[in-house]
Amino acid sequence: MELVAFDLDGTLLNKHQRLSDYTLDTLERLKAAGVFYTVATGRTHFAAMPCIEGHEFPNWQIFKNGVEWWDPQQNLYRHRNLLSQSHISELLSSFEEHQVTPFIFCLEDDGSHRVYHSPLTGHLSDHIANELGNHKNMSLHPITELSHSAKITNISAMGRPEFIEKIILDSQQHSHLTAYSGGGIYNPDAFWLDIHHSNVCKGSALMELKEEIGAESLVVFGDGDNDLSMFSASDEAFATDNALVHIKDAATDVIGHHDEDGVARYLRKRYNL
């Protein structure tokens, strides 16, 4: 049995951050063929939900680069390697210095999610706040209310690429933190940033899932730096044509563009769907 895993943005999703009709039909065919497949994304579960609307991914789903797992059959979460306020306190000054608003995602004892943030600093942070505020199981709070006992899954942000890069450099001074960034897919001037515990990544999460389900091989699809860990853990790794050169170089092969159903077209050929 193969375990097949898809990144979302720049890979399975089109330029509208959605699954195209062609991809939706392909996924239904993949399900009917009995292939075990899932998503492995840097998005949170809540942020991914509108993007994958239209298809019920039946198996464990991997979010926040492996920090957050979701089982849609049992309505059950798993979380790996959470952070505490002490883990991130020094890094928060870097966000302030570069005028980028951090959004700190936390788990509550009742299973709900709270997001703490400093004052909003422009249209990019306004966009994130508006998007997060629309989720019924998530609430926004000022960073001054962040508890020392908070269970932190990750920090996310959006900002100009030169400022995001400086925060990444600062994060590299802390061995317990891993930072990923990217941009240009939907807005060329907006780079996203995600920071979480260094003990977890897409690759380690998928290897754990592979062992759990007894899969013999791992096949992955991606386009960004946060996909490289699953590329290195996989038996076969496919980069979309829109990926950067070093991502393509790390792949087994390069397939079509994310906005031209590249993954779906490859799946139909590989599995004779």
Average the pLDDT over each of 178-192, 210-224, 236-250 and give the range with the smallest value.
Answer: 178-192
**Mean pLDDT over residues 216-238, rounded?**
97
SS3 153: strand
Quote the percentage of the chain above a pLDDT of 70: 97
User: Helix %, strand %, coil % for the chain, to 5?
Assistant: 35, 25, 35
pLDDT at 187 over 70: no
Q: Where are the alpha helices (DSSP H) in the chain?
A: 21-32, 45-48, 85-97, 123-132, 161-171, 202-213, 228-233, 245-250, 262-270
Longest dimension (CA), the chain: 55
Helix (H, G, I), strand (E, B) or coil at 149: coil
pLDDT > 70? residue 254: yes
Cα 165 to Cα 207: distance, rounded to the nearest angstrom: 29
Whether the per-residue pLDDT at 101 is higher than 70: the answer is yes
Between CA 92 and CA 176 the distance in angstroms is 15
CB-CB contact of 58 with 73 (8 Å): yes
Mind listing the pLDDT tens digit for each residue in 138-184? Answer: 889 999 999 888 999 999 999 999 999 999 999 999 999 999 987 75
- The predicted pLDDT at position 218 comes to 98
Phi, psi of 90, deg, nearest 5: -70, -35
Least confident residue range of 25-34, 122-131, 233-242, 251-260: 122-131
Residue 33: per-residue pLDDT: 97
* Alpha-carbon separation of residue 36 from 112, 160, 217, 271 (angstroms): 29, 38, 11, 12
pLDDT of residue 131: 81
pLDDT of residue 6: 98
Amino acid at the residue 257: H
Measure the CA–CA gap between 128 and 62, rounded to whole angstroms.
Answer: 21
Predicted local distance difference test score (pLDDT) of residue 39: 98
User: In terms of pLDDT, which residue wins out, 191 or 27?
Assistant: 27
* Spatial contact of 82 and 107, defined as CB atoms under 8 Å apart: yes
What percentage of the chain exceeds 90 in pLDDT? 79
- Dihedral class, residue 157 (left if φ above 0, else alpha if ψ from -120 to 50, else beta): beta
Identify the DSSP state of 84.
-
Is it the case that residue 185 has pLDDT exceeding 70?
no
Confidence of residue 202 (pLDDT cuts 50, 70, 90): very high
For the cut 60, the answer to whether the pLDDT of residue 186 exceeds it is: no
Token code pair at residue 59: 């198996």
Give the model confidence (pLDDT) of 15-57 as tens digits: 999 999 999 999 999 999 999 999 999 998 888 999 999 999 9
- Looking at residue 246, its pLDDT comes to 97
Mean of the pLDDT values across residues 131-137? Answer: 78
**Mean pLDDT for all residues in the chain:** 93
Predicted confidence band at 189 (pLDDT cuts at 50, 70, 90)?
A: confident
Task: State how far the Cα of 84 lies from the Cα of 149, in Å rounded to an integer.
Answer: 7
